[in-house]
């Protein structure tokens, strides 16, 4: 008799299988968005745009450690879902334990680096004399929660590989709701300002991590984090890293590109930096929803790739692309028309609001194609296509974006055109993802047939 946790991967009608997996994923991503918006919103209630700018400047460092979680989370999910599709449950347990313990060790090391080198880190992310103390204050506190941030990001993804998308969603919601509830208390009621936002974030990360640890210790999972199952050899570390490193590189390069664009934007003033930070959060309304669609289908695709069910794999991909395009168009209209009220909720200063409004409507120009991009990124990862995944990851936020960013800065000398570099890059990345997806599908399914 088949386990209920994976039965839907094989037998449920495609629309049902897709929605059962993506709805919790989308809700989780939207909760991440809400808590990000909450931090910025409540900081903005201090009427200090330098604090808003400081949180925006500190975000890339935060994203870097989320990338570490993605390395083990996405890499582990891709490997584990394929192992389960192949019936290799024992190996899946070894992979899960490897992701937990290695990820935790990296998180602890990351915490130490920030605490011991706070001044260089603050300068690296682009802190100015007006924002330096706020940036350092935020980073020092958030650093304490880095190990828990890494654990939360690992298992909010891996738990989906065993068919428990609702459990994955619950852990993220727990941490995010705690953060949202604590933000006004610590930022405004206690008057802790930037420090309050950081403390709320740390508590939220701890709660999520503890929730996932309890899930594994409770015995209801077909996976485990028990140290006796820890194994890096026999293709486990290689399998996790081959997909996890490209996936995390995208996030690391995103963090790097955020630092670069903030450093370039500083030439137009701190109000431009504040406006850009808020515009990115407005754009995240569309981005996070569409990322949720992509990450939601990855375990489903990975399982069917592992079992060699080519017909079902293609059916899931086709339905997901249609759904993603529809959602992309809807979210583009919502974010474009709603840019004014959303930006105004965070920025009241005239100059900062003007920048934020202009930047938000510029970023959403790539909205119509973002759904296709995120679905294809996760499709490539689900097949264990390491080289195509690596090419796409280093291209979107690195090989494509950074040259476009500096080219636009040199040619146009305009704050808006700095922001325009992202939509232009997204369209180029979609073209590249289509080419790589066709290549990966032909190559990797053919290789499975020959095994």
* Mean pLDDT, residues 350-357: 84
Could you identify the residue written with the tokens 């050899």? 233
Per-residue pLDDT for 299 more than 60? yes
User: What pLDDT is stored for residue 62 in this prediction?
Assistant: 75
> Quick check: pTM over 0.85?
no
pLDDT at 445 over 90: no
**pLDDT at residue 3 is higher than 60:** no
**pLDDT tens profile 419-442:** 899 999 999 999 999 999 888 888
- Tens of pLDDT, residues 44-56: 888 787 887 788 7
* pLDDT computed for residue 172 by the predictor: 86
Place of tokens 């738990």: 159
62 inside domain: yes
Residue numbers of the domain that contains 131: 12-443
pLDDT score at 247: 75
Assigned domain for 428 exists = yes
Mean pLDDT score, 129-136: 87
448 located within any domain: no
Domain total in the chain: 1
Tell whether 3 is covered by a domain: no
In angstroms, the CA 411 to CA 400 distance is 17
Which residue in 285, 288, 269, 254 sits closest to 374, CA to CA?
A: 288
In a domain? residue 7: no
Helices (H), 117-145: 118-124, 132-144
- The pLDDT assigned to 6 comes to 63
Report the pLDDT value the prediction gives residue 447, as an integer from 0 to 100. Answer: 65
Q: What is the DSSP string of 199-266?
A: HHHHHHHHHHHHHHHHHHHTT--SS---GGG---TTTHHHHHHHHHHHHHHHHHHHHHHHHHHHHHHG
Query: Do 245 and 112 meet the contact criterion of CB atoms below 8 Å apart?
Result: no
1 has pLDDT over 50: no
Structural domain includes residue 450? no
Question: Left if phi > 0, otherwise alpha if psi is -120 to 50, otherwise beta: which for 230?
Answer: beta
Mean pLDDT of 82-104: 91
Residue 451 lies in a domain: no
Residue 260 covered by a domain: yes
Q: What is the percent of the chain with per-residue pLDDT over 70, rounded to a whole number?
A: 97
- So what's the pLDDT on residue 59? 75
Digit-coded pLDDT (tens) for 51-91: 877 887 787 777 778 888 888 988 898 899 889 888 889 99
Average pLDDT estimate for 391-402: 82
Per-residue confidence at 106, pLDDT binned at 50, 70, 90? very high
The residue with greater pLDDT, 214 or 382, is 214
> pLDDT tens, 249-271?
777 777 778 788 888 888 888 78
Tens-digit pLDDT profile for residues 171-211: 988 998 898 899 899 988 888 888 898 899 899 999 999 99
């Amino acid at each position: 008799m088949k386990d209920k946790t994976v039965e839907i991967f094989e037998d449920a009608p495609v629309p049902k299988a897709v929605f059962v997996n993506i709805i919790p994923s989308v809700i989780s991503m939207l909760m991440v968005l809400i808590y990000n918006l909450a931090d910025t919103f409540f900081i903005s209630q201090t009427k200090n745009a330098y604090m808003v700018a400081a949180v925006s400047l500190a975000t890339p460092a935060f994203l870097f450690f989320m990338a570490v979680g993605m390395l083990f989370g996405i890499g582990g999910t891709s490997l584990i879902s394929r192992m389960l599709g192949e019936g290799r449950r024992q190996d899946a347990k070894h992979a899960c334990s490897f992701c937990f313990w290695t990820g935790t060790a990296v998180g602890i090391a990351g915490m130490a680096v920030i605490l011991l080198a706070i001044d260089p880190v603050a300068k690296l992310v682009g802190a100015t004399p007006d924002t330096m103390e706020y940036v350092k204050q935020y980073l020092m506190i958030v650093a304490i929660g880095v190990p828990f941030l890494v654990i939360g990001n690992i298992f909010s993804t891996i738990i989906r590989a065993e068919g428990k998308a609702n459990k994955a969603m619950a852990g993220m919601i727990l941490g995010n709701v705690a953060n949202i509830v604590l933000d006004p208390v610590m930022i405004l009621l206690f008057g802790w300002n930037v420090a309050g936002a950081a403390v709320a974030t740390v508590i939220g990360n701890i709660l999520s991590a503890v929730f996932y640890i309890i899930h594994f210790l409770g015995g209801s999972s077909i996976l485990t984090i028990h140290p006796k199952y820890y194994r890096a050899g026999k293709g486990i570390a290689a399998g996790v890293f081959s997909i996890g490193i490209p996936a995390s590189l995208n996030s690391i390069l995103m963090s790097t590109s955020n630092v670069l664009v903030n450093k370039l934007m500083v030439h137009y003033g701190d109000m431009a930096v504040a406006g850009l930070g808020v515009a990115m959060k407005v754009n995240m309304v569309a981005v996070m929803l569409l990322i949720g669609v992509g990450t939601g289908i990855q375990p489903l695709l990975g399982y069917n790739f592992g079992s060699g069910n080519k017909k079902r794999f293609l059916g899931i991909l086709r339905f997901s692309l249609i759904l993603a395009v529809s959602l992309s168009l809807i979210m583009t209209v919502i974010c474009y028309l709603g840019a004014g009220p959303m930006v105004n909720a965070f920025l009241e200063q005239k100059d900062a609001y003007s920048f934020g409004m202009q930047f938000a409507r510029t970023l959403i120009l790539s909205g119509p194609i973002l759904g296709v991009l995120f679905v294809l990124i996760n499709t490539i990862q689900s097949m264990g296509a390491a080289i195509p995944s690596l090419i796409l990851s280093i291209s979107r936020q690195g090989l494509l974006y950074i040259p476009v960013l500096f080219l636009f800065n040199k040619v146009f000398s305009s704050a808006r055109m700095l922001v325009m570099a992202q939509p232009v890059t997204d369209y180029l990345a979609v073209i590249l993802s289509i080419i790589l997806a066709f290549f990966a599908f032909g190559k990797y399914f053919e290789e499975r047939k020959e095994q």
